[in-house]
Structure 1
Amino acid sequence: MDDFHPLHIHWKPRRDGGAPLIRDEQRALSSADFAAEVAGLALLFVQKGVGRGDVVATMLPNRIDIVVAMFAAWRIGAAFMPINPALTSAEALYQVADSGSRLILVDAAARDRLTGTTATLLPVDAPPERSAAVLPDAAVAADDTALLIYTSGTTGRPKGVMLSHGNIDAMLRSIHAALRLDGDLSLLVMPLFHVNALLVSILAPLAAGGGACILEHFDRHSFWQSVRDSGASYFSGVPAMYLLLTAERGAIAPAPRLRFAICGAAPMPAQAIGAFEARYAVPVLEGYGLTESTVGATLNPLDGPRRPGSVGRAMPGIEVAIVGEDGAFCPPDTVGEVAVRGGNVMKGYLRRPEDSAAVLVDGWLRTGDLGRLDGAGWLTLVGRKKDLIIRGGENIYPSEVEEAIMATHLVAEAAVVGRPDAVMGEVPVAFVVAPEGGDADALVPALQAEIEKALARFKRPVAYHLLDSLPRNPIGKIDKPALRQRLEQAAQPATAP
């Protein structure tokens, strides 16, 4: 297989002359400055003992340094792994240990939470060591792991999704063909530990001779000013962002360079898309994909009719099918499991061959999501086989939250389900059973205090319901549909007799 040179394949100098290639809220880098920082940090990585096949990580809020570290890792043939800076110490240390990370670029907050790791902790503001050495590009094969992104799996323990340089190259070709990117500037509002942010908002424009502007976090009050100030031609977000922007009060000045917006990570109601487009006159392209497909699979078209409520058709170079319980492909308009095939499909899960084999079947990625394709290839999602909760674009697996609750030893049983939320899409809710003889009044406050130390804020249940016992189905399993029904009934307004 031909060697890849990601530094050159995955980004190009800005076509817009001396305009910054990339900037955040603190600084901006030209194409030349960016290349110099990448080379300097890559040399520092080598001096710290990092080499081809190692894993380099970052645990930082959104900032340019994450992107520089990613390309520096690739420059020397290492894989790159972004860590969510909101993770607790236990969560972050698990990810570092499981991945075998050799070096982590950190700020002060992350350094404190990573106490005890054997990985080298490199302060993000440490100046690169000066050296006259010239660092050659490492020989990188298309099948070498480029990104290691952790996502919740069927056991509730996060799994490392291995995305190769070839996966990234295939996904970028598909994105460019679908969106006709040519020197475009993106405004990044998604967190940089997400594959969506890295592929759609960073690599896609940089590989097309464009640039990227990084916001540390989404702020609905200042968002449109950021769009205008940056001169962005597109941005990618999650449904919660669009709902908040639609509800924002006051007049909004137009952003003339904005061509389109992309919505993914969770389903967005058709009426919500219509309301956003009616207010801002910006087309929203709803799509579908997952980390295991290097972010993309289907997308509503940039040109021609779009179908709010559908997540679009297969992107260029990607196949999408519906598979039945028997493993056979389903005819049009039949609900089944969504399957994806193409060069964008992951290598597999890190050191989890059984989990990989369960979802990579005959060249197809079995997504675990339920949907149907019509005769023209439009995909409509109808649910998930998994119990995954998607809160504002953040994936929460109930079993991970349940494990944390049970680890407190404050409850006898626990079950977590998703409750619909008008802004976040879903939020986690816990049902717990007090131990015999326990103090029921003190249970919930004590449990909340413990979970605050164990789980990142977005994973914590928004409510705890104390039950005498959890409902079970005939074979003895906890009946989660019954718990969801209980929440639905509680949300319904009372009717007059």
Structure 2
Amino acid sequence: MAASYFPWDNAVRGEAPCIRDDDDAYSYARFAERVDAVAEQFALGGIGAGDVVAAVLPNRAELILVMAAAWRIGATATPVNPAFTADEAGYQLDDANAALIVGDRPIGDRKVLDVADLATVATTGWTAPTAPSDDTIALLIYTSGSTGRPKGVRLSHANLRFMASSMVSILNLTPADHALLILPLFHVNAICVSVLAPFIAGGQVSVTGQFSVSRFFTDVATLRPTYFSGVPTIYALLVSSPDAVDADLSSVRAAICGAAPISRELLNLAQERFPFPILEGYGLTEGTCASACNPLNGERKLGTVGPALPGQTITIVTPDGTEAPTGEIGEVVISGPSVMQGYLNRPEETAATIVDGRLHTGDVGRLDDDGYLTLVDRIKDMIIRGGENLYPKEIEAALATHPAVLECAVVGAPHELYGEVPVAYVVRHPGATADADELAEHLLTRLARVKRPTAIHLLDDLPRNPVGKIDKPALRRDLVTG
């Protein structure tokens, strides 16, 4: 049997463990049977190829069940952040033109199929349609909307298969592997890295509820996963927890860090604290999750996000569109089978983002002689102070060298004379007492005067968007309105 992430193809694995959550555990055969039952239920309700099925659910096995059932009948799935208000969810449901909504709560006055009413057994003799083709749109994943209204990213089954297979290769996954899923399933990272990849490898998935530090250490000790994928915030919480000292993490052989850049200091601290390698990677929803990653077996270069994944090409281009020399900075451009099929109903934005088949990321970076990518910053995050370009990531990296700094973010504040000036927000390690003056003094020998923040604000937490990235637009709005 060719490797597949479709449950109906994987039914031949029989009673091998497939997916579990807090309420149930499925073998491969039972999960495939349940997918057919729900697919038939959808079909009898008039859902078919080309329709969109929305899942407004917290992390649980049924969310994967709904996605797979939609795929079984050639439909598209769109997972919706369960924390959304009715208005926020309504925007995505309307934009996606969802023909069916599966949820665990009312959403305004919309008709919702209660997750508790999903079918358990298919009718004897029911035959599913032909498996969806590679170019069928499998997922509509909505961006976080930090630059405006969220956009629906169209990802095909070819995109998903390529990415999930890449993860199998990167992590050397086998049927013995077990993913602990701690990231939200309305994001493509969780779907590809922690669900579809182990499905292809014949491994298993444990779906946890909303992430908490204490639960993480308990789950690792009791479930014995072999890998997980997290974001920098999760690693910051884990390393600062007293539970980490005596935690049994012996089953974990690797972890991935993505979605946002992690500071060199935090990554070093995490590697010192935990016995497994943490592979820093890089990617976008528009690139079906990952385009670069430090290797599990091979040189891992601290401060980089690794080389391009096999089958993908990363190029650095200058503002005039020419390729930048090795070591020079420019925009990161990606090509390969991971590039999305475009934004839903946004042809102009699609054309501006995908040019000649290449994905323009809006990220600034450089490649070294070995092809390892170092991210400099987001183009839109760049601060222009009196005509001089400042990169917040460089300032954040300098701040992070102070032992009291757990996390930090730098944004541009409006200024009458210079246009913009850098302002920093800092979260300290628990128990740390360094104040803003001490942190400012720390930067005197590390940054030129023009790059030093004009103010350093100490916070208990940094604002975050639904995926867990630091919400810099919120910090900028606070500077304007506050």
TM over 0.5: yes
| CA gap 1:147/1:472 in 2 versus in 1, 3 angstroms | farther
Matches within 5 A, 1:325-340: 325-340=319-334
Are the aligned partners of 2:139 and 2:154 in contact in 1 as well (CA < 8 Å)? yes
Are the aligned partners of 2:10 and 2:29 in contact in 1 as well (CA < 8 Å)? no
Are the aligned partners of 2:7 and 2:32 in contact in 1 as well (CA < 8 Å)? no
State the 1:298 CA deviation: 0.2
Alignment counterpart, residue 239 of structure 1, candidates 232, 238, 244 = 232
Structure 1 position 80 matched with structure 2 position 77? yes
Partner of 1:39: 36
Structure 1 position 143 matched with structure 2 position 135? yes
3-state SS of paired residue (2:112): strand
Letter of the aligned partner of 2:114 in structure 1?
Answer: P
Are the aligned partners of 2:408 and 2:424 in contact in 1 as well (CA < 8 Å)? no
Q: Which runs of 4+ in 1 moved over 6 A?
A: none
| CA gap 1:240/1:147 in 2 versus in 1, 3 angstroms | same
Structure 1 position 300 matched with structure 2 position 294? yes
Alignment counterpart, residue 12 of structure 1, candidates 10, 13, 33 = 10
Matches within 5 A, 1:108-187: 108=105, 111=106, 114-117=107-110, 120-128=111-119, 131-152=123-144, 156-183=148-175, 184-187=177-180
Q: State how far apart, in whole Å, the 2-side matches of 1:14 and 1:36 are.
A: 11
State the 1:486 CA deviation: 10
Partner of 2:87: 90
Partner of 1:288: 282
Q: State how far apart, in whole Å, the 2-side matches of 1:315 and 1:256 are.
A: 28
Letter of the aligned partner of 2:456 in structure 1?
Answer: A
State the 1:42 CA deviation: 0.5
Partner of 2:348: 354
Partner of 1:345: 339
State the 1:36 CA deviation: 1.2
Which deviates more from structure 2 when the two are superposed, residues 252-261 or residues 83-92?
A: 252-261
| CA gap 1:70/1:78 in 2 versus in 1, 3 angstroms | same
- Percent identity between the aligned chains? 43
1:86-113 CA distance string (max 9 Å, x none): 11221110110001011111112xx1xx
Structure 1 residue ranges without an equivalent (≥5): 389-419, 432-469
| CA gap 1:387/1:83 in 2 versus in 1, 3 angstroms | farther
Partner of 2:421: 482
Q: State how far apart, in whole Å, the 1-side matches of 2:239 and 2:258 are.
A: 17
Letter of the aligned partner of 2:265 in structure 1?
Answer: Q
| CA gap 1:357/1:20 in 2 versus in 1, 3 angstroms | same
Are the aligned partners of 1:13 and 1:21 in contact in 2 as well (CA < 8 Å)? no
Letter of the aligned partner of 2:15 in structure 1?
Answer: G
Q: State how far apart, in whole Å, the 2-side matches of 1:84 and 1:55 are.
A: 16
State the 1:6 CA deviation: 6.2
1:189-225 CA distance string (max 9 Å, x none): 0011010000000101111111100111211123122
Q: State how far apart, in whole Å, the 2-side matches of 1:288 and 1:166 are.
A: 20
State the 1:320 CA deviation: 0.7
Which deviates more from structure 2 when the two are superposed, residues 314-323 or residues 17-26?
A: 17-26
Partner of 2:218: 225
Q: State how far apart, in whole Å, the 2-side matches of 1:127 and 1:486 are.
A: 46
Partner of 2:449: none
| CA gap 1:100/1:127 in 2 versus in 1, 3 angstroms | closer
1:258-301 CA distance string (max 9 Å, x none): 11010001111112111111112111000000100100100001
Letter of the aligned partner of 1:200 in structure 2?
Answer: V
Partner of 2:61: 64
Q: State how far apart, in whole Å, the 2-side matches of 1:352 and 1:308 are.
A: 38
Alignment counterpart, residue 268 of structure 1, candidates 262, 287, 303 = 262
Letter of the aligned partner of 1:482 in structure 2?
Answer: V
Are the aligned partners of 2:293 and 2:307 in contact in 1 as well (CA < 8 Å)? yes
Q: State how far apart, in whole Å, the 2-side matches of 1:127 and 1:286 are.
A: 38
Q: State how far apart, in whole Å, the 2-side matches of 1:91 and 1:386 are.
A: 24
1:219-250 CA distance string (max 9 Å, x none): 11231221122221100000111111111115
Q: State how far apart, in whole Å, the 2-side matches of 1:138 and 1:45 are.
A: 16
Partner of 1:491: 456
Are the aligned partners of 1:239 and 1:425 in contact in 2 as well (CA < 8 Å)? no
| CA gap 1:59/1:426 in 2 versus in 1, 3 angstroms | farther
Q: State how far apart, in whole Å, the 2-side matches of 1:56 and 1:427 are.
A: 39
Q: State how far apart, in whole Å, the 2-side matches of 1:473 and 1:53 are.
A: 54
Structure 1 position 49 matched with structure 2 position 40? no
Are the aligned partners of 2:53 and 2:70 in contact in 1 as well (CA < 8 Å)? yes
| CA gap 1:211/1:266 in 2 versus in 1, 3 angstroms | same
| CA gap 1:256/1:13 in 2 versus in 1, 3 angstroms | farther
Q: State how far apart, in whole Å, the 1-side matches of 2:16 and 2:170 are.
A: 25
1:151-207 CA distance string (max 9 Å, x none): 045850110000001111111222222221111110000011010000000101111
State the 1:12 CA deviation: 3.0
Are the aligned partners of 2:7 and 2:35 in contact in 1 as well (CA < 8 Å)? no
Are the aligned partners of 1:244 and 1:423 in contact in 2 as well (CA < 8 Å)? no
3-state SS of paired residue (2:421): helix
Alignment counterpart, residue 367 of structure 2, candidates 356, 367, 373 = 373
1:377-406 CA distance string (max 9 Å, x none): 010001001349xxxxxxxxxxxxxxxxxx
| CA gap 1:427/1:244 in 2 versus in 1, 3 angstroms | farther
Partner of 1:197: 190
Partner of 2:303: 309
State the 1:7 CA deviation: 2.3
State the 1:131 CA deviation: 3.5
Are the aligned partners of 1:339 and 1:365 in contact in 2 as well (CA < 8 Å)? yes
1:306-332 CA distance string (max 9 Å, x none): 112111111111111111101111111
| CA gap 1:43/1:324 in 2 versus in 1, 3 angstroms | same
Aligned length: 407
Q: State how far apart, in whole Å, the 1-side matches of 2:262 and 2:87 are.
A: 33
Are the aligned partners of 2:179 and 2:225 in contact in 1 as well (CA < 8 Å)? yes
Partner of 1:249: 242
| CA gap 1:492/1:60 in 2 versus in 1, 3 angstroms | closer
Q: State how far apart, in whole Å, the 2-side matches of 1:137 and 1:423 are.
A: 52
Partner of 2:387: none
Q: State how far apart, in whole Å, the 2-side matches of 1:244 and 1:99 are.
A: 35
Q: State how far apart, in whole Å, the 1-side matches of 2:102 and 2:237 are.
A: 33
Which deviates more from structure 2 when the two are superposed, residues 167-176 or residues 150-159?
A: 150-159
Q: State how far apart, in whole Å, the 1-side matches of 2:308 and 2:87 are.
A: 39
